[in-house]
Homo-oligomer: A and B are copies of this chain.
Amino acid sequence: MTRSKARGYHHGDLREALVASGRKLVEEKGIRGFTLRECARRAEVSHAAPAHHFASMDDLLAELVRRGFAELTASMTTEAERVAEDEPAARLVGLGVGYMAFAAANPTLFQLMFSREANHIEAKAGDEGAASLRRLLAAVLDDVLLEASDDVRQQAADFAWATMHGFIILVLEGEIGGRDSSRALKARGLAALAAMAETVARFARP
């Protein structure tokens, strides 16, 4: 789709171009620095062109969030599937690795996905994505917990999600491992995930 300089009046695939430039822009300028006009500029299009593809700026951000959740769950699935089926605890750790890998690769988008703004703005945008993430987590947890009560299942899910989310957020924020090497940071992350998985496993046999 390498549009050369010679494009006509019509862009061809402006919607995708806006999503692409928007995604870069979010990471470059941050959530508050994000600008619809700059997005249009990078797609080499007038400032009002986006209106025909996204009703508002929040609409574009909502699309970014939607795709972010899809990629996040994909990343989790990929990592979990590198582990044998009969090692459920390790699969749980894999889920966490995929979670953190996506967040580390897309720090600002990740924050946007879980930001208070997003929740209000996109209404149902992130909800579907979050729901499928929840299902994925529940499925893997099922193999760890076997026959546990619903209460325990819920507690385990809360705990697992909270640990992996909290850890990577604090890392992205510089609160954890401020000047650690990338290697050392990964080790710290794995340690946290291992402790989490062990605790979850303990939920199964009280």
Query: Which chain B residues lie closer than 8 Å to A191 at the CB level?
Result: 155, 158-159
Q: Within the assembled complex, what's the spacing in Å between the Cα atoms of A130 and B172? A: 14
Question: Interface residues of A toward B: which range?
Answer: 35 or more
A residues 27-84 near B (Cβ < 8 Å) are 30-32
Number of this chain's copies in the complex: 2
Q: Within the assembled complex, what's the spacing in Å between the Cα atoms of A89 and B111? A: 31
A116 contacts B159, C-beta separation under 8 Å: no
A residues 151-186 near B (Cβ < 8 Å) are 154-155, 158-159, 161-167, 169-170, 172-176
Query: Which chain B residues lie closer than 8 Å to A134 at the CB level?
Result: 175
Q: Within the assembled complex, what's the spacing in Å between the Cα atoms of A89 and B197? A: 20
A198 contacts B195, C-beta separation under 8 Å: no
Known contacts A174-B119, A199-B195: A169-B169 contact under CB 8 Å: yes
The smallest beta-carbon distance between A60 and chain B, in angstroms, is 14
Q: Which residue of B is nearest A133, CB measured?
A: B175
A107 contacts B111, C-beta separation under 8 Å: no
Q: Within the assembled complex, what's the spacing in Å between the Cα atoms of A195 and B201? A: 11
Q: Which residue of B is nearest A107, CB measured?
A: B116
The smallest beta-carbon distance between A24 and chain B, in angstroms, is 15
